Amino acid sequence: MAEKTTGLSKDERDAVKQRAAELRAEEKAGKTRAAGEQAVRDAIAAMPDDDRVLAEGIDRIVTEVAPQLVRKTWYGFPAYTDADGKVVVFFKAAAKFTSRYATVGFEESANLDDGDLWVTSFALLALTPETEKRIADHIRKAAG
């Protein structure tokens, strides 16, 4: 018999607290491109080495292929928003929830619709020329 849960896990509670702190920081600093860029740089710098390398690569790819997207943090993750402030793409570090892989994910505002089925996230272990190209193609389309 499954054990009944009594609410959010510690990791989930920490993520909610982090998002509340992000919203307070955005309000204090203003929702400027520079404030978002600094928040993302700080979030990436705080990651363990393996995640940091991947996050830096995703940040570089997004900046190159979709410079119109605005950086911000979202639940502690580097995220990139459209002109309306809606998250299009984000990077979730493996260490955040002790996962075996990092994730590159796309939110509903991403222009990825393809019939009745399309990808909304990828598990990411390494950035190779092939994975960078695939990610860049998806980000380019998502930011369309």
**pLDDT, tens digit (0-9, with 9 covering 90-100), for 6-53:** 787 887 787 777 767 766 665 655 556 788 899 999 999 999 999 999
Which CATH number is 63's domain given?
Answer: 3.90.1150.200
The answer to whether residue 2 is domain-embedded is no
Quote the pLDDT of residue 11: 79
The answer to whether residue 5 is domain-embedded is no
What's the domain count of the chain? 1
Q: How far is CA 95 from CA 11, 53, 80, 109, 124, in A?
A: 11, 13, 20, 26, 13
Q: Which domain holds residue 96?
A: 10-143
The answer to whether residue 96 is domain-embedded is yes
The answer to whether residue 3 is domain-embedded is no
**pLDDT, tens digit (0-9, with 9 covering 90-100), for 64-115:** 999 999 999 999 899 999 999 999 999 999 998 899 999 999 999 999 999 9
Query: At residue 2, does pLDDT exceed 70?
Result: no
The answer to whether residue 125 is domain-embedded is yes
The answer to whether residue 4 is domain-embedded is no
Nearest to 55 by CA among 106, 16, 94: 94
